[in-house]
Amino acid sequence: MLRLPQFEVVAPESVADVVTALQRPGARVIAGGTDILPNLKHHLGTPQHPAELPPVLVSLSRVTALRGVALDEAAGVLRIGAGVTLSQLSEHPEVQRRFPSLSQSAGAVASPPIRNMGTIGGNVNLDTRCRYVNQTHFWREALGGGCLKSEGNVCHVVPGGRNCVAAMSSDNVPVLISLDATIVQAGPEGVRELPIEEFYKADGLAHTNAKPGEVTTELRVPLPKGPRRSHYIKWSVRKSIDFPLVSVALRFDLGEDEATVAAVKVVVGVLGSKPRTLSKLDDVVGKKFGDPAVARMVSDAAYAQCKPLENVPYEAAYRRDMIRVYTRRAIEALAASAE
């Protein structure tokens, strides 16, 4: 039995009241609860203050305004409320039709009951984890008293390391970055929208650019302007429940002939606390999507640019190989299915 620490819960009905409630010292947001509650049961507090447990949780359960998915043709975006559950997102007809990779990633999170609870707003704010911190307090004590992200001051992944390298293992974040999505944050200073790619930073203790007292209210995904092939790759120990060991989001925008690559964006997750967008893919543009060279060039670039750490199970060298293998196979399968 894992007991939660004591806290108070408030459940406002509007975003404005949530923002007000978050002004209370130590207040934290709870939506589906599938990330924060296991962490609190493990006695992991806020990322910045691991030992400091929140005295009050601000629940989004009554904020009905956050629960819709709306197609905004005028603005050219799909608006996804932060309170939409991962099941709803994965099964939404517009998401399935226009953003297959997002439907796949939302449907790949953990297990069916967790997807019925967890929200997309919670998933993009998923705390970073590593194999040494996603453990009970008892387990961490046996390790000699935790690490940088819990109650200790050492890193077990990078000996002597002073920076936390816990992994950002959200399935949806690499996909949303690959789709050029934006994230909407409401806080005491008002509402702001920023590219989700700029929301993350390479610090396992504070891996987002959320300002104090902010809550995520919406995600906006630009509608494709032409033919597109997209796919989400997840390799994990088991096919259900587990966090990814390798995660890659693929997006190929094609020309009007539906065969020539016009633009490509590939984002790799589960490296450190910030997903990596591959660079140097310009040579792929102009090639036929079915050309075997495309799969080879992209998977080779993924191998060259991604260096996994020993922060999740399996050896880093093996996971690096698997990034290349899974990327190549996925592109080959996409090309075959398009023919």
Q: Minimum CB separation from another protein for residue 230, in Å? A: 22
Distance CA 127, CA 111 (A): 18
Q: Which of residues 280-339 bind another protein (CB under 8 A)?
A: none
Residue 199 to residue 197: CA distance in whole angstroms: 6
Residues from 18 through 47 that contact another protein (CB under 8 A): 30, 32-34, 37-38, 41-42
Label the pairing between strands 69-72 and 77-81. Answer: antiparallel
According to the binding rule CB under 8 A, does residue 1 interact with another protein? yes
DSSP state of 127: P
111 near another protein, rule: CB under 8 A: yes
Q: Which of residues 236-265 bind another protein (CB under 8 A)?
A: 239-241
Strand partners, 261: 254
Tell me the Cα Rg of the chain.
Answer: 20
The answer to whether residue 116 forms part of the interface with another protein (CB under 8 A) is yes
Selected range binding another protein among 113-121, 211-219, 229-237, 249-257, rule: CB under 8 A? 113-121
| 44 versus 179: smaller Cβ distance to another protein | 44
Question: Taking CB under 8 A as the rule, does residue 93 contact another protein?
Answer: no
Question: CA 336 from chain center: how many Å?
Answer: 28
Residue closer to another protein by CB (options 76, 113) is 113
Q: For residues 149 and 134, what is the distance between their CA atoms, to the nearest angstrom? A: 10
CA distance 235 to 220: 27
Non-local (6+) Cβ contacts of 64 within 8 A are 13, 83
Nearest distance from C-beta of residue 31 to another protein, angstroms: 10
Please report how close the Cβ of residue 237 comes to another protein at its closest, in angstroms.
Answer: 12
3-state secondary structure of 40: helix
Q: Summarize as ranges the residues that interact with another protein (CB under 8 A).
A: 1-2, 4-9, 11, 30, 32-34, 37-38, 41-42, 57, 59, 61, 110-114, 116-117, 239-241
